[in-house]
């Protein structure tokens, strides 16, 4: 199909009025909105998938009259849209401003909007209950596919960047309440997720927000659990080398954060 595409650049006109009217971007970002954006298809891409073709067709007549949101920072859609995604809580919003948002880092964000979502829009009542059993599938979803701790930590980091350190600490405290370790352990190395990095990232955010005591308490908790895992996996030699390496990496990260 690529043989029929004369250019790997897709030019999308931008209706600035609609972008602001329909809340795709806040008024404070108005000066950043261009007349058009350019999506660049990677030079090594040899084919277009059906979802990508669908998205291109949708954008061909897009009037910026409704927000477009995506999970997992664009997922498998690789036609240049990942350069135009803004972290928006549980999803990523397609915006007409080029940035460097990825699944592990954010560029353009709206810290105040994220704070409002976390404290007033999203409901955490079911997640923070500890009177039911969280099975493998729920643990996989809430700690792996859509890491809840990452959501809180990313919001806290954005608040620190915008100078709202007290709000950042509030969000991190909420995380410990709403994602209780009784149901979602601090160390679940055996599942192969990035959960441990998220917990240590929370401690890092506590330090950045000016709450070193809370950071150190959290680091002590997860380090104790990681050492237990270290002893366990060390019993099985090469059979658990991957898990052992992951535990060691997490401990190294924790020590690095504590030393900074």
pLDDT, one tens digit per residue, over 127-181 is: 999 998 888 888 888 887 778 898 999 999 999 999 999 999 999 999 999 999 9
The beta-strand segments (E) located in the chain are 9-13, 36-40, 69-70, 85-87, 92-94
Is residue 100 over pLDDT 90? no
pLDDT, one tens digit per residue, over 50-80 is: 989 999 899 988 999 999 998 777 778 888 8
Looking at mean pLDDT, say which of 108-117, 127-136, 215-224 comes out highest. 215-224
Alpha helices in 163-240 (DSSP H): 165-178, 195-209, 212-233
CA 61 – CA 77 distance, rounded (Å): 18
**Across the strands, what pairs with 39?**
10
CA 118 – CA 155 distance, rounded (Å): 8
**Across the strands, what pairs with 40?**
9
Section 114-128 average pLDDT: 93
- Predicted structure pTM score: 0.85
83: which residues sit within 8 A by CB, 6+ positions away?
A: 39, 40, 98, 99, 100
Mean pLDDT, rounded, of the chain: 89
């Amino acid at each position: 199909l690529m043989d029929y595409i004369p250019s790997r650049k897709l030019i999308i006109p931008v209706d600035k009025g609609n972008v602001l009217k329909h809340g795709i971007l806040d008024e404070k970002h108005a000066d950043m909105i261009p007349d058009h954006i350019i999506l660049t298809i990677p030079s090594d891409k040899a084919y277009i998938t059906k979802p990508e073709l669908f998205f291109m067709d949708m954008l061909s007549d897009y009037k910026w009259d409704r927000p477009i949101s995506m999970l997992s920072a664009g997922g498998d859609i690789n036609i240049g849209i990942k350069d135009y995604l803004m972290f928006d809580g549980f999803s990523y919003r397609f915006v007409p401003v080029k940035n460097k948002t990825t699944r592990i880092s954010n560029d353009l964000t709206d810290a105040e909007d994220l704070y409002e979502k976390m404290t007033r829009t999203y409901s955490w009542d079911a997640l923070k209950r500890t009177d039911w059993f969280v099975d493998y599938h729920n643990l996989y979803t809430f700690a792996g596919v859509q890491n809840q701790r990452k959501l809180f930590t990313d919001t806290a980091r954005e608040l620190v960047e915008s100078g709202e350190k007290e709000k950042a600490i509030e969000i991190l405290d909420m995380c410990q309440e709403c994602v209780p370790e009784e149901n979602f352990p601090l160390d679940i190395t055996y599942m192969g997720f990035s959960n441990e990095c998220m917990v240590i990232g929370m401690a890092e955010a506590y330090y950045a927000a000016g709450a070193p005591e809370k950071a150190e308490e959290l680091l002590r908790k997860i380090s104790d659990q990681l050492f237990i895992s270290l002893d366990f996996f060390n019993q099985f030699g090469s059979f658990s080398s991957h898990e052992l390496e992951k535990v060691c990496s997490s401990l190294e990260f924790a020590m690095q954060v504590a030393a900074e």
